[in-house]
Amino acid sequence: MLGTAPAAAPERARAASPLTHVHSGAPPFLLVHGEQDTMVDCSHSRSLAAALDGAQAPVELRTVPGADHGWHGLPDVQVEEIFLRTLAFARRIVT
């Protein structure tokens, strides 16, 4: 997405990072991340959640044991549960 490795374009990498844009007026965040994600380490969501919490922005972090990226490896019933919890979060935020 940066057109090069992050180390080769540190300014672009910093600007592209969600951490750079954390502020107290941020909208509510729901972060759901598979603990066995092989594409994006779960630590990224943990770091973002910690930064949002530190800025006193509303954030919920849910890590999903056994889940890879895109919920690979989870039975359909667990994927449906994640979807329903996400929908419930959205409904709480809108109302």
Residue 73 lies in a domain: yes
- Per-residue pLDDT at 2 exceeds 90: no
Residue range 37-47, pLDDT digits in tens: 999 999 999 99
Residue 7 lies in a domain: no
Domain count, the chain: 1
pTM: 0.88
Q: Is 9 helix (H, G, I), strand (E, B) or coil?
A: coil
The CA-CA-CA angle for residues 13, 16, 22, to 5°, reads 120
Within its chain, how far is the Cα of 7 from the centroid? 22
Residue range 48-57, pLDDT digits in tens: 999 999 999 9
d(CA 34, CA 68): 5
pLDDT at 83: 96
Range of the domain at 78: 25-94
Report the candidate in 57, 88, 14, 13 with the shortest Cα–Cα distance to residue 32. 88
Residue 10 lies in a domain: no
d(CA 64, CA 28): 20
Total H helices, total E strands in the chain: 3, 2
